[in-house]
Amino acid sequence: MIYVIMGVSGCGKSSVGTQLAEKLQLPFFDADDYHPQSNVDKMSAGIALTDEDRWPWLQKLNSEMQQWQQNGGAVLACSALKQAYRDCLADNLAQAVTFVFLKGDFATLLSRLESRTGHFMKSDLLMSQLATLEEPEHALVIDINQSLEAIVQNIIKEI
């Protein structure tokens, strides 16, 4: 099984994904690690990615996900902001993908981004991500206004 922990920057995808993978005894991958340097450079400069920027990245992730599925599954942290992006990620996979949407309010997300260091995603891109976000209809929705441990336990309980 592949679990995609999704949402905008600052929602806790990497933290939740790491903990969930540990509990499920699955490998964890961060989609940020698969961005080409050109995407990283744009985001570091405060420039929002376009769909054209994202498609090769999403297709690369889909290829990786096919391999992870053959190897027993994985947990992936990925923004997956639009339904079309989620469709691309799940395309041609033998088993269904479980999307877990980490949902938070603007103030919480902004506070988290402003306190984060060492990441290429700038807090001023949050509005762009929220404008792009298409909340998923078929996903487990988790409120991020609780402890990391509670979030992970709620996910495990629901899957």
Q: What pLDDT digit, counting tens, does each position of 104-120 carry?
A: 998 899 888 887 665 54
| Token pair listed for 23 | 């509990």
pLDDT recorded at residue 115: 75
What is the arithmetic mean of pLDDT over 4-20? 96
> How many Å separate Cα 107 from the centre of its chain?
19
Count the Cβ atoms, other than its own, within 10 Å of residue 140: 17
Domain hosting residue 142, numbered range: 2-158
Q: What is the pLDDT of residue 120?
A: 47
Q: Dihedrals φ, ψ of 115, to 5°? A: -95, -5
Instruction: Give 62's pLDDT tier (boundaries 50, 70, 90).
Output: very high
Q: How confident is the model at residue 123, as a pLDDT?
A: 55
As a whole number of angstroms, the distance between CA 69 and CA 115 comes to: 35
Task: Please give the pLDDT value at position 47.
Answer: 85
**Average predicted confidence (pLDDT) for the chain:** 92
How does 106-139 read in b/e, with b if 16+ C-beta sit within 10 Å?
eebbbebbeeeeeeebbbebbebbeebbeebeeb
Residues 17/30, Cβ–Cβ less than 8 Å: yes
Q: Enter the pTM of the model.
A: 0.91
β partners of residue 29: 76
Q: Is 78 in a helix, a strand, or coil?
A: coil
List, in sequence order, every residue forming a beta bridge with 76; answer none if it has no partner: 4, 29
In CATH, what number is assigned to the domain containing residue 8? 3.40.50.300
What is the tally of structural domains in the chain? 1
In degrees rounded to 5, what are phi and psi of residue 2?
-110, 130
Give the tens place of pLDDT for each residue, 46-55.
888 899 999 9
